[in-house]
Structure 1
Amino acid sequence: MEEEEGSASITKLLKERGYLRDEKNWLTNKGFFEIGEKILHEVMKDLTSDSFGLHETRYSGNGNVIIDTTKQFEPGDDIKFLSVPHTLLNSIQRLSKTKTQIDFPISLELDDLEEFETLEDVRVAVVYCIDLSSTMKSSLTKNGRSRIEVAKKALWSLYVLNKKFFPNDSVFVVGFASMASIVNPFDIPFLKTYDANDNFLHYTNYQAALRLAKKILQKNSAQNKRIVLITDGQPSACFVENEQQKNEIISEKPYSNFYSPDATVISKVKKERNMNLDSNPDRLVYLCYRYKKVDPKINNRTLLEAKKCIRDGIKIDTIVVSEEEELLNYVQDLEKELKGKT
Structure 2
Amino acid sequence: MDSHNKALGSKKFLYFPLDKEGQEQMQQSRDERELPRDVLDKLLKTLGREALREKTPSLQELEQALQGIMSQQEQQEQESKQQPGSQTGSKGNIGDDFGMPLVRQLINKGYLKDSPKWLSTKGFNMIGGKILSDVMKALKAGEYGMHETHDIGSGSVVLDTSKKYEPGDDIRLLNVPKSLLNTVQRMSKDGSELKVPLQINVEDFEEYETMQDVRVAVVYCIDLSSTMRYSSMYGDMSRIEAAKRALWSLYLLNRKFFPSDSVYIVGFGALASKVASNDIPYLKTFEPGSDFLHYTNYQAAFRLASKMLQKNGALNKRIVLVTDGHPSACFIDEKSEQDKILSQRPYSHFYTPDRQTLDTVKHENSMSLDIASGELVYLCYRYRQVDQYIGERTIVEAKKVHSLNIDIDTIMISEEDSLLGYVNEMEKYVKGRSYYINPADIDRVLLTDYLNSKKQKTIRARSQW
Answer yes or no: same fold by TM over 0.5.
Answer: yes
Secondary structure at the aligned position of 1:323 is classed as coil
**CA distance 1:3–1:75, shift in 2 (3 Å):** closer
2-structure distance, mates of 1:174, 1:281: 14
Percentage of identical aligned residues: 51
Other-structure match for 1:63? 154
Task: Kindly state the Cα deviation for residue 33 of structure 1 after the two structures are TM-superposed.
Answer: 1.4
1-structure distance, mates of 2:326, 2:429: 15
Other-structure match for 1:141? 233
Greater share of residues in helix? 2
2-structure distance, mates of 1:226, 1:239: 22
Contact 1:233 1:330 in 2 (8 A): no
Equivalent in 342, 350, 364 of residue 272 of structure 1: 364
Contact 1:228 1:318 in 2 (8 A): yes
Other-structure match for 1:231? 323
Other-structure match for 1:338? 430
Task: Kindly state the Cα deviation for residue 221 of structure 1 after the two structures are TM-superposed.
Answer: 1.4
Other-structure match for 2:284? 192
1-structure distance, mates of 2:286, 2:264: 21
Other-structure match for 1:100? none
Secondary structure at the aligned position of 1:59 is classed as coil
**CA distance 1:119–1:3, shift in 2 (3 Å):** closer
2-structure distance, mates of 1:289, 1:76: 56
**CA distance 1:246–1:272, shift in 2 (3 Å):** same
The amino acid of 1:222's aligned partner reads A
The amino acid of 1:207's aligned partner reads Q
Equivalent in 166, 176, 180 of residue 258 of structure 2: 166
Structure 1 stretches of 4+ with a deviation exceeding 6 A read: none
Task: Kindly state the Cα deviation for residue 35 of structure 1 after the two structures are TM-superposed.
Answer: 1.1
1-structure distance, mates of 2:225, 2:354: 19
What number of residue pairs does the alignment pair up?
A: 294
Secondary structure at the aligned position of 2:347 is classed as coil
TM-score by length of 2: 0.59
1:292-307 → structure 2 map (5 Å cutoff): 292-307=384-399
1-structure distance, mates of 2:428, 2:156: 29
1:1-342 → structure 2 map (5 Å cutoff): 1-3=92-94, 5=96, 9-48=101-140, 52=143, 55-65=146-156, 119=212, 122-280=214-372, 283-342=375-434
Contact 1:137 1:146 in 2 (8 A): yes
Deviates more, 1:165-174 or 1:320-329: 320-329
1-structure distance, mates of 2:95, 2:344: 61
2-structure distance, mates of 1:212, 1:301: 16
> Which whole-Å deviations, capped at 9, do the CAs of 1:305-325 have from their partners, x for residues lacking one?
111111101111122211110
Other-structure match for 2:455? none
**CA distance 1:255–1:44, shift in 2 (3 Å):** same
Unmatched segments (≥5 aa) in structure 1: 67-73, 78-116
Contact 1:151 1:231 in 2 (8 A): no
**CA distance 1:16–1:237, shift in 2 (3 Å):** same
1-structure distance, mates of 2:374, 2:222: 25
Secondary structure at the aligned position of 1:271 is classed as helix
Secondary structure at the aligned position of 1:178 is classed as coil
2-structure distance, mates of 1:139, 1:324: 13
> Which whole-Å deviations, capped at 9, do the CAs of 1:117-160 have from their partners, x for residues lacking one?
9557x421111111100010111112242111111111111111
> Which whole-Å deviations, capped at 9, do the CAs of 1:217-242 have from their partners, x for residues lacking one?
11111121111111112111000011
Task: Kindly state the Cα deviation for residue 47 of structure 1 after the two structures are TM-superposed.
Answer: 3.4
Task: Kindly state the Cα deviation for residue 212 of structure 1 after the two structures are TM-superposed.
Answer: 0.2
Contact 2:155 2:212 in 1 (8 A): yes
2-structure distance, mates of 1:14, 1:165: 28
> Which whole-Å deviations, capped at 9, do the CAs of 1:220-271 have from their partners, x for residues lacking one?
1112111111111211100001111101111221100000101000010111
User: What root-mean-square deviation, in Å, do the aligned CA atoms of Structure 1 and Structure 2 show?
Assistant: 2.4
Q: Which has the larger radius of gyration?
A: 2
Contact 1:124 1:225 in 2 (8 A): yes
2-structure distance, mates of 1:24, 1:180: 23
> Which whole-Å deviations, capped at 9, do the CAs of 1:59-110 have from their partners, x for residues lacking one?
21232357xxxxxxx9969xxxxxxxxxxxxxxxxxxxxxxxxxxxxxxxxx
Secondary structure at the aligned position of 1:35 is classed as helix
Contact 1:124 1:223 in 2 (8 A): yes
**CA distance 1:282–1:168, shift in 2 (3 Å):** closer
Secondary structure at the aligned position of 2:266 is classed as strand
TM-score by length of 1: 0.80
Task: Kindly state the Cα deviation for residue 292 of structure 1 after the two structures are TM-superposed.
Answer: 1.3
The amino acid of 2:399's aligned partner reads K
The amino acid of 1:134's aligned partner reads S
The amino acid of 2:233's aligned partner reads T
The amino acid of 2:239's aligned partner reads R
Task: Kindly state the Cα deviation for residue 281 of structure 1 after the two structures are TM-superposed.
Answer: 10
